[in-house]
A and B are shown apart, each in its own frame.
Chain A
Amino acid sequence: MSELVTKSASELAELIKSKEVSSKEVTETFFDRATDLNHLTLSYLHLNRETALAAAEAADKAQSEGKSLSPLHGVPIAMKDVLATQDAPSTAGSKILEGWIPPYDATVTKKVRAAGMPIIGKTNMDEFAMGSSTEFSAYGPSKNPWDLTRIPGGSGGGSSSAVSGHLAPLATGSDTGGSIRYPAAVTGSVGAKPTYGAVSRYGVIALASSLDQIGPVANTVLDAALLQDVIAGYDPMDSTSIVESLGSMADAVRTADITGLKVGVVKQLSSDGFQPGVKACFDDTVAKLSAAGAEVVEVDCPSFEYAVAAYYLILPAEASSNLARYDSVRFGMRVMPEGNPTIERVMAATREAGFGPEVKRRIILGTYALSSGYYDAYYGSAQKVRTLIQQDLAAAFSKADVLVTPTAPTTAFKLGEKLDDPLAMYLNDIATIPANLAGIPGISVPNGLAHEDSLPSGVQILAPAKQDAQMYRVASLIEQMYVGEWGAPLISKVPVLEAQNG
């Protein structure tokens, strides 16, 4: 294994800047490793050597002319397949979009290219980001580099396994209920969901538009911060884009200071329902924060009890509407039934063949939640729960600067373990969903290995809306405490993947 692949993105950027290595050398190293190991982790759905190396050569040329396009200039990246890329298929993990090459780039894709970052490939995901394990990908599940018989989280398990398995130094994710943070927690990596509207959703294949947010997947807090700085910013193409700048997250990380920090522990997300090893890691994080001088207070968020229920009404409702666009007319699959069918029969046959089981389940659930006679009881009540959760969080943030929770209730479970129990699968997101409902930022940082299975655990840090910088500061402080104790980031303990037959 080349030494380069275990370096952080910020270290790689420094090496490229000082011309100790070229972007081409770094990109080729990661590309070759991704190609060799993808059969083990299925992190990538699509890899394109030609476009990756062409972008790397362009970055090197700019560098030789003294032009550095961003602090991550020349560092390669993996893109979640939910983002439109006009030089590569963009399928969102679905058969219905197999082979579809969008005629335009997502804003995030454009920003990544403009930052001089070569795109290695597109990462695997649960179909249309519906899932917590990547087992609902139409192209097969990704595997967790810590244990290839276990899930890498979802929906962004392609990105989390790519980054934690060193098949990419950085990746993008999309987080609708935890799809960046949950995979980060179970793979010992770092994943952040910015404030809703901080990163453009233009060109993102939509799941639930009032919840979706794009964010960074990385191995260190600084790397995540650097990537958020690249992809964030106002975009007139997204009407929910935040106009004002939220500042530099990398600067926040570099100036992190614990003096006067008040940390809230959410009563409803700190005791029951967590695996003992995950709970022990969390208690340790809280104790460390307290020992380092932070004031720890308990906060009460009684409406969190209803968050998962509200989420599984709002998300299917919005998804059933968003996914109506897969109608066999403008893009994607078309299935022609026998005889001389009308377009309605073509649509129904196409959607039967093109959508997987979880997508069908949620579209039908959403259709039910929005149907006449049920709307007020289900969708209407869920929207009211959303208000209550915002009120709980406003009260909590009046007592604390940030909130901390375990990111996930358990460590990575076995492939297949929850596949036939939709409700059990939904509960993986119990701690991450409130942030999406309220639009606030959240990040997961590794906080140890659970004692019963030696698998990674993560701590989630939540901050008020638009205070992403505060979230990154505390994330960095927690990371520093653990690196100080362990001598290296948790990711240094990930088993080394070796190609089979190679």
Chain B
Amino acid sequence: MSEITPDLVRHLASLARILVTDEEVEKLAGELGVIVDSVAKVNEATSGDVLPTSHPIPMTNVMRDDEIRPSLTQEQALSGAPDSEEGRFKVAAILDEE
């Protein structure tokens, strides 16, 4: 039985900054429950002494020379912005008024 409750879905959606309707919450709780029950079997496969793999091809730290190279102009960087002002990204208030 899954532990994915509607309240948990609401909490996760808020962490992921996605507004969800009550209807979506109910639907997602059911769907995610089925998926989580299915993927939870990864626990059966592993024991403590297996090392995790984060990347398929082993790599050591990748360094490059600290050289100036071409980059986007301010205009290019702002070209896709929904709103900008005086060469900066413009956003709504960060904090509530109170």
A interface with B by C-beta (< 8 Å): 100-104, 195-197, 210-211, 236, 239-240, 242, 303, 305-306, 309-310, 312-313, 320, 324, 327-334, 336, 340-349, 351-352, 355, 360-361, 363-365, 367-368, 371, 377-378, 380-388, 390, 422-423, 426, 436-440, 465
Contact = CB atoms under 8 A, between A and B. Distances in A.
A240 B96 contact: no
B34 to A, nearest CB: 6
Contacts of A382: 39, 42
B82 interface: yes
Classify the interface of chain B: helix, strand, loop or mixed.
Answer: loop
B31 to A, nearest CB: 6
Interface in B23-60: 24, 28, 31-32, 34-36, 38-46, 50-57, 59
Contacts of B16: 320, 351, 363-364, 367
B42 A313 contact: yes
B62 interface: yes
Nearest to A370: B15
Contacts of A377: 40, 43
B79 A103 contact: yes
Contacts of A355: 18
Contacts of B54: 210, 383
Contact of A334 (B38, B40, B82): B82
Contacts of B36: 365, 368
**Best-buried of A100, A103, A349, A377 by chain B (most CB within 10 Å):** A103
Contacts of B38: 309, 312, 423
A184 B53 CA distance: 29
Given A313-B39, A327-B17, A332 B45 contact: no
Contacts of B15: 367, 371
Given A344-B17, A438-B56, A312 B93 contact: no
A242 B77 CA distance: 29
A102 B76 CA distance: 9
Given A196-B57, A342-B93, A344-B17, A309 B42 contact: yes
20 contacts: A242-B57, A306-B45, A313-B42, A328-B82, A334-B82, A342-B92, A342-B93, A343-B91, A343-B92, A343-B93, A346-B92, A351-B18, A360-B13, A360-B18, A363-B16, A364-B16, A368-B36, A388-B45, A423-B35, A439-B56
Given A377-B40, A387-B51, 17 more contacts: A103-B80, A324-B17, A340-B93, A341-B92, A346-B91, A352-B20, A364-B13, A365-B36, A367-B15, A378-B40, A378-B42, A381-B42, A384-B52, A384-B53, A387-B53, A388-B45, A439-B55
Interface of B: 4, 8-9, 12-20, 24, 28, 31-32, 34-36, 38-46, 50-57, 59, 62, 64, 72, 76-77, 79-83, 89, 91-97
Contact of A364 (B12, B59, B72): B12
Given A195-B57, A380-B52, A422 B17 contact: no
B78 to A, nearest CB: 8
Nearest to A213: B56
A363 B42 CA distance: 19
B70 to A, nearest CB: 10
A386 B18 contact: no
Given A331-B80, A343-B94, A361-B31, A385 B12 contact: no
Contacts of A380: 52
A269 B57 CA distance: 24
Given A378-B42, A384-B51, A465-B56, A351 B95 contact: no
Given A352-B20, A371-B15, A377-B43, A342 B56 contact: no
Contact of B82 (A310, A333, A383, A384): A333
A321 to B, nearest CB: 10
Contacts of B50: 384, 387-388
B39 A312 contact: yes
A342 B94 contact: yes
Contact of A386 (B53, B76, B77): B53
B7 to A, nearest CB: 13
A384 B46 contact: yes
Nearest to B41: A309
B52 A387 contact: yes
Contacts of B55: 210, 240, 439
A140 B11 CA distance: 31
